[in-house]
């Protein structure tokens, strides 16, 4: 179901009350101006919107952001990939997620309002719960990126001009509030026959196709992620969540192998373009993020290479991680040559991913002077099928491995840590090979699709750089964190969070990346929500804001 055009306009404007003025006003406006702008739309919400239509928009926007900031900023500061040009002009990309979030928050708050005012709100219990899980996922990610944000008073423009410029909430209080909302939402979801009295969502539920058991697992996975994220700052809150989920044996993804992309989606939560009833208009944003020289033009880095290959043999004979063949490709000469993470040897102005004169992608390795191995051409071209994952099954197992290794809310247990660790690596490998086998985007020719050799997974798990060793607590923890960081190579907000939280991720000894602890606030906030922005930013320039730590950082 698509939103009525009036609802779409309404929510674009109600999103402004987050402090994000998403229509990019060119000048500062006074309250009177906003009153005039909002008048035609703020009174039509109930008559033109529907909870199902609003959820449809939330579902379609679940992974709606610019991938360019992943490749241009998050990958380098997480020590995963070097970039050809420095510094990255991050100011052009810091507002995308912010603006999208506040439009979604406005939709969510209107959705809740409509349910509360309906004649039969009980029929919307599942809809309300899964919408809460989606907005919680985005809110938690907002906190991870920006620190303090407008939240409790945000997205309420329809209530009047007093709500146009909301205050910023304390980070700790928002984390606590959202995690409590997540628990309530998960526990309220009805499954099986009990869900027969719930409003049917049909194609509007494009995220998990109304599989409410999977929604429960998704919600619990998010709760577990943030229990680990917040443990050092709020152990009582974190331990309570861990005890509830692990001690209570609450549902979590636990498949590790997938017969189809649909089964993969039900255990690895995000947006799967080829499975949507209406394909989202992503266009070539994914491709652009990898091939545009002025943005990134990134390569396989020496730091990542050292985690997937036992030697520097350029014929690839040292590669022990089977995911390498999905993620990367050799250089023009067929050699596996990583770029030094410290950029001591530069590629130059060439690109691994050139376009033809008609602006269509050329075949890989068509330029003769590429020195370094790069990301797999077919992978970064496959925007029609590539999954944009928020939290994977591998992430969950590796979180549990860390929990057991550290004794976070449970007794430390090497055997359980090792079991979860191996399950996480198995799930990660199978995720990528299932994707390759089932993608139907027409990008991957059959001859280019790697296949998982019979003994590749067992050899990977047994490799000395990977396998845990009884009694080596410090070494085991570093391996768990390293593999969690590597498994999140395509979930860059999570890789960046792991790097900032643990201090245990791999780092090239000669590479000192820019200190980047949070995203600066978009400039519109300084202009249009100035008083509240001043309190949150201390009037700091963007580069100074960027080194300020978010709540859970040590």
Q: What Å distances lie between residue 186 and 109, 176, 181, CA to CA?
A: 18, 16, 9
User: Tokens 């979590």 sit at which residue?
Assistant: 252
User: What pLDDT, in 10s, does the model give residues 29-62?
Assistant: 233 332 332 332 233 344 468 999 999 999 988 8
Mean pLDDT of 267-279: 82
Domains of the chain by start residue, with CATH: 5-66+94-171+523-545 (no CATH), 273-386 (no CATH), 390-502 (1.20.120.840)
> What is the reported pTM?
0.90
Q: What Å distances lie between residue 125 and 56, 58, 138, CA to CA?
A: 16, 16, 20
Mean pLDDT of 162-179: 92
Supply the pLDDT for residue 32.
31
Q: What are the DSSP calls for 402-461, one per residue?
A: HHHHHTSSS---HHHHHHHHHHHHHHHHHHHHHHHHH--SS-S-GGG-----TTHHHHHH
Q: What are the DSSP calls for 521-533, one per residue?
A: PPHHHHHHSHHHH
Q: What Å distances lie between residue 354 and 288, 359, 473, CA to CA?
A: 11, 9, 46
Q: What percent of the chain has pLDDT over 70?
A: 82
Q: What are the DSSP calls for 208-250, one per residue?
A: TTT-HHHHHHHHHHHHHHHHHHHTTT-HHHHHHHHIIIIITT-
Distance between CA atoms of residues 53 and 176, nearest Å? 29
Nearest Cα residue to 302 out of 75, 79, 72, 479: 79
pLDDT reading at 338 higher than 80: yes
**How much is the mean pLDDT over the chain?**
85
Supply the pLDDT for residue 367.
57
Q: What percent of the chain has pLDDT over 90?
A: 65
Pair 433, 258: CB distance under 8 Å? no
Pair 373, 338: CB distance under 8 Å? yes
Model confidence band, residue 87 (pLDDT cutoffs 50, 70, 90): low
Q: Residue 56 corresponds to which tokens in the numbers above? A: 């449809």
pLDDT reading at 264 higher than 90: yes
Supply the pLDDT for residue 360.
53
Q: Which of 210-214, 280-284, 360-364 has the highest mean pLDDT?
A: 210-214
Mean pLDDT of 160-180: 89
Q: Residue 262 corresponds to which tokens in the numbers above? A: 């649909």
Mean pLDDT of 453-478: 98
pLDDT reading at 354 higher than 80: no
User: What pLDDT, in 10s, does the model give residues 485-533?
Assistant: 999 999 999 999 999 999 999 998 888 777 899 999 999 999 999 999 9
Supply the pLDDT for residue 216.
98
pLDDT reading at 23 higher than 50: no
Model confidence band, residue 282 (pLDDT cutoffs 50, 70, 90): very low
pLDDT reading at 399 higher than 80: yes
Q: Select the more confidently predicted residue: 15 or 423.
A: 423
Distance between CA atoms of residues 211 and 191, nearest Å? 8
Supply the pLDDT for residue 361.
53
Burial pattern 175-198, b for ≥16 Cβ within 10 A else e, equals beebbebbbebbeebeeeeeeeeb
149-150 vs 328-329, strand pairing mode:
unpaired
Distance between CA atoms of residues 46 and 54, nearest Å? 12
Model confidence band, residue 119 (pLDDT cutoffs 50, 70, 90): very high
Distance between CA atoms of residues 75 and 57, nearest Å? 29
Supply the pLDDT for residue 544.
96
Pair 517, 553: CB distance under 8 Å? yes
Mean pLDDT of 257-280: 87
Q: Select the more confidently predicted residue: 18 or 414.
A: 414
Tell me the CA end-to-end span of the chain in Å, nearest whole number: 45
Distance between CA atoms of residues 428 and 301, nearest Å? 20
Supply the pLDDT for residue 378.
86
């Amino acid at each position: 179901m698509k939103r009525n055009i009036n609802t779409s306009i309404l929510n674009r404007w109600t999103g402004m009350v987050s402090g994000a003025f998403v229509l990019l006003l060119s000048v500062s406006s006074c309250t009177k101006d906003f009153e005039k702008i909002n008048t035609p739309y703020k009174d039509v919400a109930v008559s033109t919107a529907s909870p199902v239509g609003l959820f449809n928009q939330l579902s379609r926007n679940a992974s709606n952001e610019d991938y360019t900031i992943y490749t241009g900023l998050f990958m380098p500061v997480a020590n995963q990939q070097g970039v050809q040009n420095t510094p990255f002009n991050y100011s052009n990309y810091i507002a995308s997620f912010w603006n999208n979030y506040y439009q979604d928050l406005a939709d969510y708050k209107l959705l809740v309002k409509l349910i509360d005012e309906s004649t039969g709100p009980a029929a919307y219990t599942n809809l309300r719960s899964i919408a809460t899980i989606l907005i919680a996922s985005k809110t938690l990610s907002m906190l991870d990126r920006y620190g303090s944000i407008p939240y409790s008073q945000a997205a309420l423009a329809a209530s009047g001009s007093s709500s146009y410029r909301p205050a910023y909430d304390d980070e700790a209080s928002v984390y606590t509030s959202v995690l409590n909302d997540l628990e309530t939402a998960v526990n309220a979801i009805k499954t099986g026959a009990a869900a027969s009295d719930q409003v049917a969502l049909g194609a509007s539920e494009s995220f998990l196709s109304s599989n409410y058991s999977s929604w429960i697992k998704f919600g619990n996975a998010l709760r577990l992620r943030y229990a680990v994220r917040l443990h050092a700052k709020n152990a009582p809150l974190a331990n309570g969540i861990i005890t509830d989920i692990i001690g209570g044996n609450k549902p979590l993804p636990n498949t590790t192998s997938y017969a189809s992309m649909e089964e993969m989606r039900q255990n690895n939560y995000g947006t799967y373009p080829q499975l949507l009833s209406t394909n989202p208009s992503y266009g070539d944003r994914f491709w652009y993020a990898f091939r545009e020289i002025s943005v990134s033009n990134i390569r396989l880095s020496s730091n990542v290479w050292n985690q997937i290959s036992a030697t520097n043999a350029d014929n690839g004979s040292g590669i022990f991680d089977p995911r390498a063949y999905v993620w990367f490709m050799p250089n023009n000469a067929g050699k596996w040559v990583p770029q030094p993470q410290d950029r001591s040897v530069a590629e130059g102005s060439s690109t691994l991913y050139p376009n033809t004169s008609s602006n269509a992608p050329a075949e890989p390795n068509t330029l003769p002077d590429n020195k370094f191995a790069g990301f797999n051409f077919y992978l970064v071209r496959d925007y029609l099928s590539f999954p944009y994952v928020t939290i994977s099954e591998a992430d969950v197992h590796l979180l549990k491995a860390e929990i057991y290794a550290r004794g976070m809310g449970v007794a430390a247990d090497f055997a359980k840590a090792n079991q979860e660790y191996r399950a996480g690596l198995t799930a990660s490998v199978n995720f990528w090979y299932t994707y390759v086998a089932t993608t139907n985007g027409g990008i991957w020719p059959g001859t280019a699709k790697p296949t998982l050799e019979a003994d590749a997974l067992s050899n990977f798990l047994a490799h000395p750089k990977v396998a845990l060793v009884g009694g080596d607590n410090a070494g085991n923890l570093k391996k768990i964190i390293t593999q969690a960081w590597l498994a999140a190579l395509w979930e860059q907000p999570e890789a960046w969070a792991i790097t900032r939280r643990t201090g245990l991720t791999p780092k090239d000894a000669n590479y000192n990346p820019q200190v980047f602890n949070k995203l600066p606030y978009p400039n519109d906030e300084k202009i249009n929500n100035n008083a509240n922005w001043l309190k949150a930013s201390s009037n700091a320039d963007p580069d100074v804001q960027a080194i300020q730590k978010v709540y859970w950082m040590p």
